Amino acid sequence: MSESFDTKQLFDHVNAGFMYIDCEGSIRLFNHSAKNIIGIIHGTDFNHPAGQLLEGDIVLMADNSLGGDDGGLDATILKSIGIRDKTIEKGNSLVAIGTYLSKSSKPVYKVFRGPLPSGKIYVEQKIEGRNLKAAIDFGERLLSIEVGDQVFDLNYLISMGHLVILDRKTMQVKFIQAKGYSYRNETIREILTGQPFLAKGAEEVTRPDPIGQTAETFFGSGEFIDDLNTILTGKSDLIKEKHYFLQGRQLLCTLRAVKDPINCTGVSVNLLDVSELGDLLKMREDLIETIERSMTTIVPHHFGDLDTIPNIQGNSLSMQEVKYFIKKAAQIKSTVFITGENGTGKTMVAREIHNAQHPEEPFIEVNCGSIPQSLFESELFGYTPGSFTGALKQGKEGFFQLAGNGTIFLDEITEIPPSIQGKLLHVLQDKRYYPIGASKPITISARIIAATNRKITEEISLNRFREDLYYRLNVFPINIPPLRKRTEDIYALSQAIMKRLQKEYGLSDKILSGGAYQQILNHPWPGNVRELENVLERAMLICEGSTIYPEHLNLEETRQSLHLQEVREAAEKHAIQTALLHTKDRRRLMELLGVSKSTLYEKLKQYNLSG
């Protein structure tokens, strides 16, 4: 077995388009996936013999941009299937079912003019017992043709024309459009003007093999050849993820120099069909989900089964710990003290504890920051009839009494004035309190959960919060980490939020593009989960398609921290990230950053970077 055969066989098993061009500009390797992308191999499971469109054949068509990637189709050519509509123009979207060169049959068709919608257009017809349908789904960027139970789909990014032909005599499919139709000379215009089409079923179509041809002969002159020569002449080593239009296909290519110790010996080219980006995003989502799910096997097993708390999203170690504490807190009746920045989900954690313990009982949420100081005592503890001027005749039950046997959640507890802090301390100690004007105490039955977004030790040192009250509250502490400290949870959170918004607003399925997801990962999220929810809600509402891109995200620049350690760490991380853009070589990184090997490894680990 020759070395060249082994190399070819190896690259044919790579599930990505790849070709190798030598220093003379000749194509030496063109793998199976690349042939599929270009159209040398038709890439469909449906086979048919070679043939030609004949009078009386049924034509089903879906074209999202007339005159675009369809060979230059226009209204004149459409007359061949009975469409005589002078208003049809270049750029219109068209779905149609018609009979070729028929003088009696009338076609069914729909034309969409103007900005592309996010919905669908379609036509349906029943001919000789067979249900036929041609459709365009603009949101999913999908051209779909159905013949009975057979479905023939093509994804597009910018423009594409899709065609299926039925034999008039047998009503069987005699031709289907497949990607790479420009290379095979099978555009809609060519087929409708009588050009023969090739068979599908053979491994390769009867076109000249690219191996041995020069790249310029095979692809034609243009930007791709110019960039290829830039690398072959040593002016550049890498051209990454650039868009080219090759053999009628919209491709994303990465060109890399292949070198011996001295000279460039050729160029490797990775090819990506941009119309498959939706599938790639789905694969990326599945991969991220697989990685996240695998993390549950990494966290300590002593946390036990935490799937019973589905409303708290995240598989990071810190959130596994929060879930574990929720389960434990639900098994006791001690006072719980929840700390965390604004927007981290303190209320949700309090509700989960309550729901896990006694969901049938009241959950009374008290925002201490919204109660006027003069009303604190009456709001918390209530009052008896006629206890003070302006009091209600029937008196009033306070929040503690309304909670009954349930839970009272004192959010922003550091906002309680000092005069009430003392009374609250006695309530926690004695488990009873006196409403204003009452001579008999009321025993507390409710579970008490408190929360704050402030640094409680600073509040104590500034004499704004009683230290003895803090110790009474801090029996069972739970700290919720900020979102920037658990970025591994952002994907799961985003998916959960998007699913909820989709259901709430009746929206179609949407996914995050790679660029949008990267921006979300890099954002510091000072508003935490609440900010993430707001950003995704806006993006979901303004995104007309099925993919959310960076321009849909409204990520505000945040104030720069003045804390010296945070500023230093941010600067270090940025410097290392910038150096990694230039090189992955560890020795070169040490030189660029001016650090020792041990320091480099320490910093890479500290900032979770890979070099």
CA distance 537 to 498: 8
Cβ–Cβ under 8 Å, residues 254 and 266: no
pLDDT surpasses 70 at 490: yes
- Which pLDDT score is estimated for 32? 83
Model confidence pLDDT, tens digit, residues 343-384: 999 999 999 999 998 899 999 999 998 999 888 999 999 999
Is pTM beyond 0.75? Reply is no
- In this prediction, residue 1 carries a pLDDT of 37
Residues in Cβ contact with 567 at an 8 Å cutoff, skipping those fewer than 6 apart = 560, 561
Domain spans, the chain: 3-39+207-274, 58-192, 314-479, 483-552, 564-606
For residue 385, with 0-12 CB atoms within 10 Å meaning exposed, 13-18 middle and 19 or more buried, which class applies? Answer: exposed
Q: Taking residues 460-487, what's their average pLDDT?
A: 91
Whole-number Å distance between alpha carbons of 325 and 337: 11
Comparing 367 with 488, the larger pLDDT belongs to 367
Task: Give the pLDDT band (50/70/90) at residue 204.
Answer: very low
Query: Which pLDDT score is estimated for 180?
Result: 64
> At how many degrees (to 10) do helices 597-606 and 586-593 cross?
90
Assigned token pair, 404: 């009954």
535-561 pLDDT, tens digit each: 999 999 998 888 898 888 988 654 445
Measure the CA–CA gap between 215 and 231, rounded to whole angstroms. 14
**Interval 425-443 mean pLDDT:** 91
DSSP reduced 3-state for 563: coil
Domain 483-552 carries which CATH code?
A: 1.10.8.60
CATH for 314-479, options being 3.30.465.10, 1.10.10.10, 3.90.78.10, 3.40.50.300: 3.40.50.300
Can you read off the two tokens belonging to residue 195?
């050009």
**Residue 334 in 3-state DSSP?**
coil
Q: Percent of the chain having pLDDT more than 70?
A: 86
Q: What is the pLDDT of residues 137-179, one digit of tens each?
A: 887 778 999 999 889 888 776 677 899 999 989 999 999 887 6
Q: How large is the angle between the packed helices 490-505 and 277-295, nearest 10 degrees?
A: 120
Report the pLDDT value the prediction gives residue 289, as an integer from 0 to 100.
58
For residues 227 and 159, give the distance between their C-alpha atoms in angstroms, rounded to a whole number: 25
**CATH T-level topology, domain 3-39+207-274:** Beta-Lactamase (3.30.450)
Grade residue 299 by pLDDT with cuts at 50, 70 and 90: very low
**Average pLDDT over all residues of the chain:** 83
Distance in angstroms (rounded) separating the CA atoms of residues 354 and 108: 61
Question: How confident is residue 226, by pLDDT bands cut at 50, 70 and 90?
Answer: very high
Q: Is 545 in a helix, a strand, or coil?
A: coil
Are 451 and 346 contacting, i.e. CB atoms less than 8 angstroms apart?
yes
Burial class of 568 by CB neighbour count within 10 A (0 to 12, 13 to 18, 19+): exposed
Give residue 525's identity as a one-letter amino acid code.
W
Q: How many CA atoms lie within 13 A of 5 on its CB side?
A: 2
Q: Taking the alpha carbons of 139, 144, 146, 150 in that order, is the dihedral positive or negative? A: negative
The CA-atom distances, in angstroms, between 16 and each of 37, 238, 251, 270, 519 are 9, 18, 12, 7, 26
Length of the chain: 611
Q: How confident is the model at residue 2 (pLDDT cuts 50, 70, 90)?
A: very low
Q: Could you report the per-residue pLDDT of 411-427, keeping only the tens digit for each?
A: 999 999 988 999 999 99
**Distance between terminal CA atoms of the chain?**
38
Would you say residue 269 has pLDDT above 90?
Answer: yes
Q: What is the spatial distance between Cα 151 and Cα 307, in angstroms, rounded to a whole number? A: 39
Query: Regarding predicted confidence, which is higher, 323 or 388?
Result: 323
Token couple for 248: 């009628």
Q: Output the pLDDT for position 248.
A: 67
> What pLDDT is stored for residue 262 in this prediction?
67
Residues sharing a CB contact under 8 Å with residue 429, sequence separation 6 or more, in sequence order? 472
* Residue carrying the six token digits 């257009």: 121
What would you report as the CA-atom Rg of the chain, rounded to the nearest whole angstrom? 34
Q: Which of 65-79, 175-189, 465-479 has the lowest mean pLDDT?
A: 175-189
Distance CA 570, CA 607 (A): 9
Count how many Cα atoms sit within 13 Å of the Cα of residue 540 in the half-sphere of its side chain: 24
Query: What is the secondary structure of 108-122 as a DSSP string?
Result: EEEEE-SS--SSEEE
Element containing residue 280 per DSSP (H, E): helix 277-295
pLDDT at 556: 66
Q: Which class for 458: exposed (0-12), middle (13-18), buried (19 or more C-beta within 10 A)?
A: exposed
Distance CA(65)–CA(161), nearest Å, equals 8
Q: What pLDDT, on the 0 to 100 scale, is given for residue 118?
A: 58
Q: Does residue 128 register a pLDDT over 60? A: yes
Q: Are the CB atoms for 365 and 409 separated by under 8 Å?
A: yes
